[in-house]
Amino acid sequence: MINKRENIPLLKGVNQFDLIADYFEGQIDLKAFRAHFKQYPVLSANPLVFEPEAGAYLYIEKFGGLVFWNCSQEFIATLLEEIETFGGMGERVGAVRDTLTVFVGTESDRVDFSEVWIQDLNLDKLKIISLALAQSVALDYFEGSVKRAMARFSPVMKGLSQHGKLILKRLETLKTIGYAMEIRATVLDNLTLFDAPPETWESETLAHLDSDLFDHFDIEERHSAIQQKLTYLSDAAARVMDVLTTRKSHQLEWIVIVLIALEVIFFLWK
């Protein structure tokens, strides 16, 4: 296994890495993944880093992110096909694939609009760059999920705003609340995994690189926006449940009144 501080050997003439990031729903069992794909040399166990081809690397995060470093299209297609039979992870979300270019051999580390420039490539830097890209592609998925939950909840809140009542049937309203809360639970369960990489605690250079990547992908702003929307969904669901409970109480009250009235009428008639 290559030491974290030791530079990863580059192929002759290679100073550019093309990165591709995919996201898979649900969390990945890294031990099971490693055991299933044991034919690939392992550089790191957690997060999992393989070297499937000379000068190419595969980074796997437990929250569902996979990052390919200079992997051939043939290898990527083969791996994605084999993952379908693996069974230790969810389905790939094809709509959220992201890319990044990393150049090695510059005078200083810096992050530009769509490129990353670093002096050398070691395992620590590979992890930090991969984590940022994996987090970004995961946030793409979470943003889409929350957006769908918001869109589904919109008619419920619109009915309350415009008509002062729930325009959907009780069952449909409960299904909508359930869907929104399911999305909220899934997103919150995964967002807790977005911690700073431990490598940054030991190196100021790595901490600066991680911070630049964090800003480049707007991780904090996107994370905060998702949290605010989840809070809205939670509050809105609570309000709608209050309305449903009140409506149910009123219905029960009317049922009791009608039953009493029928009993009085029956008594007078008799």
- Asked if residue 259 has pLDDT above 60, the reply is no
Encoded tokens for 241: 């449940």
| 101 strand-pairing partners | 18, 115
C-alpha–C-alpha distance, residues 41 and 229, integer Å:
42
pLDDT by residue (tens digit) across 143-181?
888 888 888 777 777 766 665 556 556 667 677 777 777
pLDDT by residue (tens digit) across 169-228?
666 767 777 777 777 777 777 765 666 777 778 788 888 998 999 899 988 888 888 888
pLDDT by residue (tens digit) across 70-112?
999 999 999 988 888 887 778 888 788 999 999 998 888 899 8
Candidates 189, 149, 148; CA nearest to 63 is 189
Of 116 and 85, the one with more pLDDT: 116
* H or E element at residue 118: strand 115-118
Distance of CA 29 to the CA centre of its chain: 16
Of 137 and 94, the one with more pLDDT: 137
Using the CB atoms, write b or e for 151-163: b if 16+ within 10 Å.
ebbeebeebbeee
- Asked if residue 240 has pLDDT above 50, the reply is yes
Split at pLDDT 50, 70, 90, the class of 252 is very low
Which residue do the tokens 């050398």 mark?
A: 120
Please give the DSSP secondary-structure letter assigned to residue 7: B
Encoded tokens for 209: 């690189």
C-alpha–C-alpha distance, residues 111 and 29, integer Å:
31
- Asked if residue 253 has pLDDT above 50, the reply is no
Averaged pLDDT, 113-129: 90
Which residue do the tokens 């379908």 mark?
A: 84
Contact (Cβ atoms closer than 8 angstroms) between residue 18 and residue 60: no
**pLDDT value for 145:** 84
Please give the DSSP secondary-structure letter assigned to residue 10: P
List of E strands, the chain = 16-23, 42-45, 48-53, 56-60, 65-69, 98-104, 110-111, 115-118
Q: What's the pTM?
A: 0.80
Amino acid letter, 15: N
Q: Would you say domain 16-122 falls under CATH 3.30.310?
A: yes
What does 198-256 look like in DSSP terms, one character per residue?
A: GGGGT-HHHHHHHHHHHHHTTHHHHHHHHHHHHHHHHHHHHHHHHHHHHHHHHHHHHHH
Contact (Cβ atoms closer than 8 angstroms) between residue 118 and residue 209: yes
Could you give the strand order of the β-sheet that contains 48-53, starting from the edge strand earlier in sequence? 42-45, 48-53, 56-60, 65-69, 16-23, 98-104, 115-118, 110-111
Contact (Cβ atoms closer than 8 angstroms) between residue 70 and residue 52: no
**pLDDT value for 153:** 75
Averaged pLDDT, 51-74: 92
Reported residue count of the chain is 270
Q: What is the mean pLDDT of the chain?
A: 80
Q: Measured between alpha carbons, how far apart are the two ends of the chain, in Å?
A: 94
